Copies of this chain bind each other. A is one copy, B any other.
Amino acid sequence: MTAYLLQQPVLLAVDCIVFGFDGKDLNILLIKRNFDPEQGRWSLMGGFLKKGESLPDAANRVLKTLTGLEGVYLEQSKVFCEPDRDPAERVISMSYFALIDINKYEHQVTEDYEAKWFLLDKKPRLVFDHDDMVRQALHQLRYKAALHPLLFELLPERFTIPQLQALYEAVYDTVFDNRNFTRKLISTGLLIKQTAKDKSGSKKGAYLYKLDKRKYKKQQGAFLNLIPRPDKLL
């Protein structure tokens, strides 16, 4: 089993950026690194690729082990491969980002695991090139979400249109006209209106919607146009 002699083996890692939405701001989940180098500093959830495991498998395992998260939306981001990115050894890392409904897991990840949520723009400095990873993942999230239905992954199963708009506004750090936003959203045909209302956000209450899962699956790759002038915002 040494067909490729003289080649340099390396360590391959995965690092996961977990984004969550609290109804108002984008948040990111971090853990305190409990081994050297850089023990005690804040870090993304990471781990090494194991024998017989694919990279997405590894990312899912790492997420599950460090935060208990399972079955969440996970997308491959960029590879980080600078020779000296990890001072201890040559490690190449593939980054993944996850999108979750923050409320669904808030207590679980902070109590059962040693993870902590941070407001995205108040997060601490991270180890190695993890700040870069976050920046890149955020860029990728904005890019993809401007073109495809995706941000639904950050909301609970039933959500209101004002919640969704607040989410888009948080991701793009801007404000949209609510009439145009609603119209475009409805016209996607992706939403099913519920009879119940959510009264947590106002006295009047806003209608709850849920995703038409079948159409959503079909249209994952389809184009969306909720964002006016995406080129201005990316």
Chain A positions near chain B (C-beta within 8 angstroms): 1-4, 7-12, 36-37, 48-55, 76, 78-79, 81-83, 88-92, 94, 147, 221-223, 230-231, 234
Contact = CB atoms under 8 A, between A and B. Distances in A.
Contact of A49 (B8, B52, B54, B147): B8
Contacts of A230: 223
A83 B52 contact: yes
Contacts of A37: 3
Contacts of A49: 8, 10, 81, 92
A36 B88 contact: no
B221 A90 contact: no
A49 B82 CA distance: 12
Given A4-B88, A88-B4, A89-B3, A79 B51 contact: no
Given A92-B55, A223-B230, A9 B11 contact: yes
